[in-house]
Amino acid sequence: MVGALYVFPNPVTGSRDYFLMRSSDAGDMPLNQASNNGWKYLGSADNYVNLSFNPIRLVRGDATTEERVSAYFDQSRLLTSDERLNTGWGSQENAVFVSDRDANGDKSYFIQKRPGAGGEFPVGGQSDADWHYLGNDADIEALVAELNSDSATFEQHILDWYKQDRMREWGDNGTNGTVNDIYVYHFRGGIHYYRLKDANYWYFPWPTGENPNNADWEYLGRF
C-alpha cells in the first residue's frame, strides 16, 4: 500500500530495515539501505537498538556467564552453532548462541541477525553480517566485577547506557521530570533505581514492597 511502512529483514546486511512505499508498482526493497523510485529508506533498527548489556538488568550475583546471558535475554537455553539453520522469523528471531570454548577456555556469545542463516561464528571478538558479538566469558565477568565494585561506578555505567548526563533525584525540578529518565532513591540503607513513566510524578513506591511499581515509576533494581 502506497504510504505504508514496511520492515525488511535485509539478507545482505543482516539488519532490520524500514521503508515507506512510494508507488504501487514498487519492486523489491533495496539491499543497500538507500531509497529508490519505489521505496523511501527510513533507517535500520541497528541504529537505535543498544545491544550492549544494560548494567541494571544484567545478573550481578552468583551465576555462570551462560546463566547471566540466558537470563538477560530471557532464553530457556542458548543455542549452538549446529542449530543456526533451525531458527525462523516469528519463532526464534534474534536467537542467542554460545560457542565452544576457545584456546583460553572462554565461550563467546552471539545474537543471530538473520534467522535460519549464517556461517560459522566470527573470531577475534568481532561481529559480521550474520552475527552480533556480545562478549566472551572473560569480558562479561570483568564487566560484572566492575559493576559490583562500588555504587559510583555502577551508576556511571547506568548513565552511559541510558545516555543520561547525571542521575536524577526526587524533587530535582519540583515534581516534574523527563519521561524515561533514571532516578536514584536511597532507602533504608539501600540504593534503588527507578525509571520515570509520567512527566508529573509523585512519591516513589517502596522498593521493598510487594509491588515497587506504580503509574509514575518503574522499579529497575538496586545496587
CATH code (residue 167): 3.30.160.280
* pLDDT < 50: residue spans in the chain: none
Is residue 57 in a domain? Answer: no
Is residue 112 in a domain? Answer: yes
**Predicted pLDDT of residue 20:** 85
Q: Which one of 115, 145, 175 terminates a domain?
A: 145
- Give the full edge-to-edge strand order of the sheet including 108-112: 96-98, 108-112, 131-136
Q: How many domains does the chain have?
A: 3
Is residue 60 in a domain? Answer: no
116: region left, alpha or beta (phi > 0 left; psi from -120 to 50 alpha): left
Is residue 194 in a domain? Answer: yes
Please indicate, yes or no, whether residues 34 and 10 belong to a single structural domain of this protein.
Answer: yes
Instruction: List pLDDT tens digits, range 164-183.
Output: 999 999 999 999 999 999 99
Q: Which residues contact 177 (CB under 8 A, 6 or more apart)?
A: 168, 183, 196, 199, 201
Is residue 78 in a domain? Answer: yes
Is residue 201 in a domain? Answer: yes
Please indicate, yes or no, whether residues 140 and 70 belong to a single structural domain of this protein.
Answer: yes
Please indicate, yes or no, whether residues 135 and 154 belong to a single structural domain of this protein.
Answer: no
As a whole number of angstroms, the distance between CA 166 and CA 161 comes to 12
Please indicate, yes or no, whether residues 74 and 124 belong to a single structural domain of this protein.
Answer: yes
Domain that holds residue 188: 150-222
Compute φ and ψ for 217, nearest 5 degrees.
Answer: -135, 140
Please indicate, yes or no, whether residues 91 and 24 belong to a single structural domain of this protein.
Answer: no
The percentage of the chain sitting over the pLDDT mark of 70, rounded to a whole number, equals: 100
CATH number at residue 121: 3.30.160
The residue with cell 551465576 is: 63
Model-level pTM greater than 0.95? no
**Predicted pLDDT of residue 170:** 96
The percentage of the chain sitting over the pLDDT mark of 90, rounded to a whole number, equals: 74
Cα–Cα distances in angstroms (integers) from residue 11 to residues 5, 191, 200, in the given order? 19, 45, 44
